[in-house]
Structure 1
Amino acid sequence: YEFMGEKPFKEVYIHQLVRDKHGRKMSKSLGNGIDPLEVVDEYGADPMRFTLAMLAAQGRDLKLDVRFLDTYKKFANKIWNATRFVLMNLDDFEKVEVKPSDLKLADRWILSRLQKATKKVTEALDGYDFNVAAGEMYNFFWDELCDWYIEAVKNRLKTSDRKIVQNVLVDVLDASLRLLHPFMPFLTEELWTKLPTAGESLVIAQWPKYIEELVDESSEAEFSRLMDMIRGIRNIRAEVNVPQSTRVKAFVKGKLTQEEQEYIEFLGNVENIEFVESRPEKCATAYISPEIEVYVSLGTLIDISSEIARLRKKIEKMRSDMDKFAKKLYDKDFLENAPEDVVEETKEKQRLFTEQIARIEQIVTDLEETTN
């Protein structure tokens, strides 16, 4: 101001103090300092930048643990591999106008989720909530785009839907890389310029806009229900030690569209779906709601009596572990003195164990009814 006669900045963001993983200040005497140049050499500049953003919650100091850097290095690899997969399937790409009538359920779902992610990330960055923005992109890109949408459309890339899927993939990936650019500038610049819709540079590209017309609550609810069904089928496989590569038979009490059946068969590795009026014998319940129930046939895949005994022992072991978590969370000294992230991790373990025990108990109940 003294030299130019005007305010040099309108807003100033002062970041948190960066501490070690135990919450101590970094110092030479403690020898707990982390050299950013060494971190860049081992993990990369973008994973380091993303890690700091993920930990930068307003109002509290940042506890930096190198294991977080490894987690977000894997995220960078995920972005690279997902983009590589899309590019490998664009050899005959042609930009076309995608009409709403061209879109299938998964397309409508991912485009709707992208709009909500765009809105949340934009609002978070405007409010300097960098951890919220980074967390939203981490969840959207890894969980929704990679784990669900890309997996769901792999078969359609081999059908007459190929051009529609290609265009949706490019649009969603393009917007995702733009949204990730503030956190991972080097990686996103390199990948974005490879897209057929790319411009001169991502640095000067337009920020994604929230398009309200693409928000589809009905499709989100329908696809979310499908995801729960598929998770239920996968969970049963995991609990009774049936390999994910083994195809299973499913029974459904209720109604499914042909498109929904195809998603369940492909993503759940289901041999075929048979519609029934009640749960058949030697089946476990994968999903249940007032409108629909899904069962997985286990009779030819496991020894039911032995499996019931094994699952009961597993439940006992898990309840014993649950008691340890509960004692910690009822301990006033633990809650007051333990690091916040340790307390939260214990709560999360307790929640996950509670859900898993409930799932296993349901399987045991279903199998016991079969043997009676």
Structure 2
Amino acid sequence: MRLSLLIGTTPGNDVNLGTEKIAGYRNFTNKLWNISRFMLMTIEKPDANIERPKAKTLADEWILEWLDATVYDVNSGLDGFNLSYAGESLRDFTWNELADWYLEIAKIEGGKEKMLNYILNTILKLWHPFMPFVTEQIWNEVYGSDNVLMVEKYPESFVNHGMLRGNCILFEEVIKTIITAIRSLRADNKIEPAKKINVEISAGDQTELLEENREIIEGLARLESLAIAPKINKPANFVGMVVGPCEVFVDLAGVIDVAKEKARLEAEIKALEGYTAGLEAKLANTEFVQNAPPAVVEKEYIKLADAKAKIALLRG
């Protein structure tokens, strides 16, 4: 109930409170409990006074920087009495970044005891003002009855911004995006989530980065095999997707009906060709080009280039 009243509200407006919202935050509370249970099973010797560990991998750097940005956002929200913003930032980190990504990566890479201890320690402190009874109980389960969460010092940010920077942006925009693209290609082609597949990636200047994170990609995307090279032409019976500077190809042989997939691709190409024809006609209109704001015109050129790139890939 407390979370339902605090998060998703706008100052000065009525609170949209219903059973669905309350049930949603009940489910989130269960999620936090389950996250804590998993992390506790991984942490052999819980330490309530653990200091910030050093990152061993790019995934560690990424989650620590996300945590720093979240601590900054939460403190900024609390200092400005914007409790909804603080809670939303913390919820998004806990569910979207920690539970959906980093805990799955931890299962693959292993050796994350100190990282998980530190992250759990920090998020329990951050969540305490929002859900004091649940977090106090979890803290007691993890660190023992001699430690009281209520008297712990509230986390302070190591940064003065709420953004990702440096290598962490590469992890966010390349590694995560490629895994998401493979999952999307799976879904689009009705491939069962549990079925392992073969993937090839034309990686360009991101080849080294992808090789360093090969284990994560193979594990989270459920791959049978993964080929990474600076340049790979689209193989027969593969479907592809452009992901930033990379091209991702998924093997459909023995997985789907190739004839049906070919018909679907031809229909998609036809639709894209109609779309590009409309954009080209729009950009050929001198009145539009001369009178529209330059940013709008530039956006249309970008749309046209993206559409043509997709057509080229589908025809590949």
TM-score by length of 1: 0.65
Q: Are 1:228 and 2:177 an aligned pair?
A: yes
| CA-to-aligned-CA distance 1:124-178 (integer Å, 9 cap, x gap) | 1111111111111110000001100000110233xxxx2xx11111111111111
Structure 2 residue aligned with 1:217:
165
Q: Which amino acid aligns with 2:108?
A: N
The answer as to whether partners of 1:251 and 1:273 remain within 8 angstroms in 2 is yes
Work out the CA distance in 2 between the residues paired with 1:286 and 1:65.
Answer: 41
State the 1:213 CA deviation: 10
2:199 to 250, 264, 277: 250
| Cα distance in 2 for residues equivalent to 1:189 and 1:286 | 46
1:204 aligned onto 2:170 = no
The residue aligned with 2:14 is: 61
State the distance in 2 between where 1:268 and 1:243 align.
12
Q: SS of the residue aligned with 2:16? A: strand
**Amino acid across the alignment from 2:222:** N
**Matched residue, 2:239:** 284
Contact 1:229 1:287 in 2 (8 A): no
Query: How far apart are residue 180 of structure 1 and its match?
Result: 0.9
Determine the structure 1 residue equivalent to 2:65: 112
- Tell me, yes or no, if the aligned pair for 1:287 and 1:295 is still in contact at 8 Å: no
Gaps of 5+ in 1: 1-47, 316-357
1:89 to 42, 47, 51: 42
CA spacing shift, 1:51–1:301, aligned 2, 3 Å: same
Map Cα deviations across residues 93-143 of structure 1 (whole Å, 9 max, x no partner): 68987764x521111111100010001011111111111111111100000
How far off its partner does 1:194 sit?
Answer: 2.6
Contact residue 174 and residue 195 of structure 1 kept, 8 A: no
**Aligned residue number for residue 297 of structure 1:** 251
Q: CA deviation at 1:313?
A: 8.9
Q: Partner residue of 1:179?
A: 126
Aligned pairs for 1:1-372 (under 5 A) are 48-91=1-44, 100=54, 103-157=56-110, 162=111, 165-196=112-143, 200-212=147-159, 217-224=165-172, 225-254=174-203, 255-257=207-209, 258-274=211-227, 275=229, 276-290=231-245, 292-309=246-263, 369=315
Q: Which residue does the alignment assign to 2:291?
A: none
Query: What is the CA distance between 1:212 and its match in structure 2?
Result: 2.9
Post-superposition shift, 1:305?
1.9
What percentage of aligned pairs have identical amino acids?
29
- Deviation, 1:287, is 4.0
Instruction: State the match for 1:334 in structure 2.
Output: none
Answer whether contact 2:109 2:216 (CA < 8 A) is retained.
no
Q: Which has the higher contact order (CA 8 A, sep 6+)?
A: 2
Q: Using a 3 Å threshold, how does the CA distance of structure 1 residues 204 and 99 change in structure 2: closer, same or farther? A: closer
Paired residue secondary structure (1:295)? strand
1:89 partner amino acid: T
Per-residue CA distance 1:249-279 (angstroms, 9 max, x = gap): 1111121343311111011111221134322
TM norm structure 2: 0.76
Structure 2 residues not aligned, in runs of 5+: 270-305
CA 1:152–1:128: 2 relative to 1, 3 Å: same
Structure number with bigger Rg: 1
Tell me how far apart the structure 2 counterparts of residues 144 and 129 of structure 1 sit (CA, whole Å): 22
Count of residue correspondences: 270
Classify 1:167/1:287 alpha carbon distance in 2 versus 1 (closer, same or farther; 3 Å): farther
Separation in structure 2 between the aligned mates of residue 299 and residue 69 of structure 1, nearest angstrom: 46
Q: Structure 2 counterpart of 1:269, which letter?
A: R
Amino acid at match of 2:94: F
2:275 corresponds in structure 1 to none
Structure 2 SS opposite 1:285: strand
1:228/1:287 contact within 8 Å kept:
no
- Please give the alpha-carbon distance, in whole angstroms, between the structure 2 residues aligned to 1:206 and 1:185: 14
Contact 2:42-2:113 at 8 Å conserved across structures: yes
Distance 1:265 1:147 in 2: 16
